[in-house]
């Protein structure tokens, strides 16, 4: 129980810290990408402005003439800007391509000045200064700037320049890898810290719980003697009161209540004593075939009296487990007792012993009233009783299944239940097999 809570605490801690970490990493990545793009844009803008400044314009014989000869890249064909440019294009003011360097445009110019990130598959869109990269036909991402060029107030054309984003992408990929690795290491550290903190947080709870267990065990133990004294005295008084019928019901009431309290005290003592695993000296080789037959025999009369068909399936092959036979018998008895309580006359109850892989299984199946879905998840809780259970179950305390669960878990096993309301329930105990011998 404590380990489960500790694990849950550690998981929640890791999950919450992990989410914050992921958020932080995504923001950092986003900011870095923004930063890089901004730097690229600044540089691209400066170069485009420089080119635009070299465009010469004059009116010859009343007609506007644009001279691009002195424009870097477009005019001379050299790369005086010393930078990686994918293409440079000059469009007239009517958006017609007049001259270009690098990749020719695949579509007519959309007059949307400003920055855009575009994708290009053409080899010539690779950096002009990087010949090896030109052989790479992969699609590349480009940052493109379209700048309207004006002379005075008159628009004389558009200069479109693009630069590849491969460096930024490579840098971001590396950054992403570094972030992922750092995050993984940090998550492991957070998990370990969560586990440690969970342990520290559990300490006082564990102590309090142990004290409570000890108190319950001591109190139940101390209550047993006065209870049995009361019971004996009440039984003796009932015998002596044979002549006095008026006080007999009162004495019978005392006996019933004392017996019921006795059951409760014994159940509480059991729950308090066998919390956690059993010490190895308590575990002995137990033949489950015998144990299950004994339990079945002790309930046969009760099933017969209630006219319930009781079918027992025990294999010939011996199934042995390491167990405390009294505790284990108590667990099987509790399941059979419930099957008796919650099954109607004329219905059937099966008790089956079996094995699969390294597990022995004891199954109690009934065609009784069944358990609703909302109750099914609680039936192993202490003192939990369903409403119908209260009516049908008589003097039960809602501790029977808690005891089954505790006993089975103390033996390293597990117990589970399935049920369909008004159709019946199946309870299965699974225990690790010690050995399976041929009989
Ligand atoms: P109780 O002493 O009340 O039987 P248990 O812990 O054995 O306590 O069972 C808890 C509740 O689970 C019962 O009150 C009952 O409602 C339900 N229950 C247990 N076994 C069965 C069963 N075989 N069929 C239907 N309901 C069951």
Would you say 397 and 325 are in contact if contact means Cβ atoms under 8 Å apart?
A: no
Would you say 162 and 85 are in contact if contact means Cβ atoms under 8 Å apart?
A: yes
Q: Using one digit for the tens of pLDDT, what is the confidence trace for 17-73?
A: 999 999 999 999 999 999 999 999 999 999 898 888 888 877 777 677 777 777 777
Map tokens 């009233």 to a residue: 369
Query: Measured between alpha carbons, how far is 295 from 298 in angstroms, rounded to an integer?
Result: 5
Confidence of residue 92 (pLDDT cuts 50, 70, 90): confident
Q: Is the CB of 401 under 6 A from ligand 1?
A: yes
Q: Is the CB of 339 under 6 A from ligand 1?
A: yes
Query: Measured between alpha carbons, how far is 83 from 433 in angstroms, rounded to an integer?
Result: 75
Q: Is the CB of 143 under 6 A from ligand 1?
A: no
Query: Measured between alpha carbons, how far is 391 from 376 in angstroms, rounded to an integer?
Result: 17
Q: Is the CB of 258 under 6 A from ligand 1?
A: no
Q: What is the pLDDT of residue 121?
A: 57
Say which residues have a Cβ less than 8 Å from residue 285's Cβ, sequence separation at least 6.
320, 321, 322, 434
CA distances from 34 to 109, 117, 121, 378 (A): 27, 13, 24, 53
Q: CB under 8 Å, gap of 24 or more: what pairs does 250-258 form?
A: 254/230, 255/231, 258/227, 258/230, 258/231, 258/234
Confidence of residue 436 (pLDDT cuts 50, 70, 90): very low
Q: Is the CB of 342 under 6 A from ligand 1?
A: yes
Confidence of residue 78 (pLDDT cuts 50, 70, 90): low
DSSP string, 147-194: EEEEETTEEEEEEEEEEE-HHHHHHHHHHHHHHHHHHHHHHHHHHHHH
* C-alpha of residue 396 to centroid of ligand 1, in Å: 8
Helices of type H across 55-75:
none
Q: Is the CB of 338 under 6 A from ligand 1?
A: yes
* C-alpha of residue 67 to centroid of ligand 1, in Å: 97
Q: What is the pLDDT of residue 389?
A: 65
SS (H, E, C) 300-366: HHHHHHCCCEEEEECCCCEEEEEECHHHHHHHHHHHHHHHHHCCCCCCEEEEEEEEECCEEEEEEEE
Q: Is the CB of 343 under 6 A from ligand 1?
A: no
Q: What is the pLDDT of residue 135?
A: 47
Q: Which atom of ligand 1 is nearest to the CA of 385?
A: 14
Q: Is the CB of 424 under 6 A from ligand 1?
A: no
Q: What is the mean pLDDT of the chain?
A: 84
* C-alpha of residue 167 to centroid of ligand 1, in Å: 69
* C-alpha of residue 226 to centroid of ligand 1, in Å: 29
Q: Using one digit for the tens of pLDDT, what is the confidence trace for 329-361?
A: 989 999 999 999 999 999 999 999 999 989 999
Token readout for 350 is 């099966």
Q: Using one digit for the tens of pLDDT, what is the confidence trace for 221-264?
A: 888 888 899 899 989 988 888 888 888 888 998 998 888 788 87
Q: Is the CB of 371 under 6 A from ligand 1?
A: yes
Question: DSSP letter at 74?
Answer: T
Q: Which of 270, 400, 415 to mutate to test the pocket of ligand 1 (most atoms within 8 A of CB)?
A: 400
Residue owning the nearest CA to atom 16 of ligand 1: 389
């Amino acid at each position: 129980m404590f380990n489960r809570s500790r694990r849950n605490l550690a998981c929640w801690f890791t999950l919450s810290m992990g989410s914050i970490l992921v958020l932080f990493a995504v923001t950092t990545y986003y900011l870095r990408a923004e930063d890089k793009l901004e730097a690229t844009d600044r540089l691209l803008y400066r170069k485009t402005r420089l080119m635009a400044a070299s465009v010469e314009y004059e009116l010859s014989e009343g007609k506007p003439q644009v001279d691009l000869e002195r424009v870097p890249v477009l005019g001379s064909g050299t790369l005086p800007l010393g930078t990686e440019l994918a293409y440079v294009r000059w469009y007239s003011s009517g958006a017609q391509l007049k001259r270009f360097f690098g990749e020719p445009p695949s579509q007519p110019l959309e007059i949307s000045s400003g920055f855009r990130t575009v994708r290009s598959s053409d080899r010539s869109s690779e950096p002009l200064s990087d010949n090896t990269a030109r052989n790479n036909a992969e699609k590349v991402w480009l940052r493109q700037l379209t700048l309207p060029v004006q002379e005075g107030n008159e628009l004389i054309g558009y200069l479109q320049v693009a630069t590849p984003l491969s460096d930024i992408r490579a840098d971001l990929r590396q950054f992403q890898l570094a972030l992922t690795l750092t995050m993984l290491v940090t998550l492991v550290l957070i998990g370990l810290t969560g586990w440690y903190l969970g342990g520290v947080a559990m300490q006082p709870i564990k102590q309090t719980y142990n004290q409570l267990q000890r108190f319950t065990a001591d109190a139940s133990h101390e209550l047993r003697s006065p209870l049995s004294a009361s019971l004996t005295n009440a039984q003796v008084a009932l015998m002596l009161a044979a002549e006095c019928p008026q006080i007999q019901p009162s004495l019978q009431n005392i006996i019933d209540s004392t017996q019921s309290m006795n059951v409760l005290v014994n159940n509480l003592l059991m729950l308090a004593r066998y919390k956690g695993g059993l010490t190895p000296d308590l575990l002995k080789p137990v033949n489950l075939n015998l144990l299950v037959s004994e339990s079945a025999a002790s309930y046969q009369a009760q099933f017969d009296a209630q006219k319930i068909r009781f079918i027992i399936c025990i294999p010939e092959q011996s199934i042995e487990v390491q167990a405390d036979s009294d505790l284990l018998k108590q667990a099987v008895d509790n399941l059979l007792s419930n099957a008796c309580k919650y099954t109607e006359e004329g219905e059937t109850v099966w008790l089956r012993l079996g094995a699969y892989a390294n597990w022995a299984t004891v199954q109690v199946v009934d065609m009784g009233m069944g358990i609703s879905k909302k109750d099914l998840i609680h039936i192993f809780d202490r003192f939990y009783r369903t409403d119908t259970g209260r009516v049908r179950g008589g003097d039960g305390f809602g501790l029977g299944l808690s005891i089954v669960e505790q006993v089975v878990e103390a033996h390293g096993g597990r117990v589970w239940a399935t049920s369909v309301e008004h159709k019946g329930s199946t309870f299965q105990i699974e225990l690790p097999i010690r050995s399976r011998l041929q009989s």
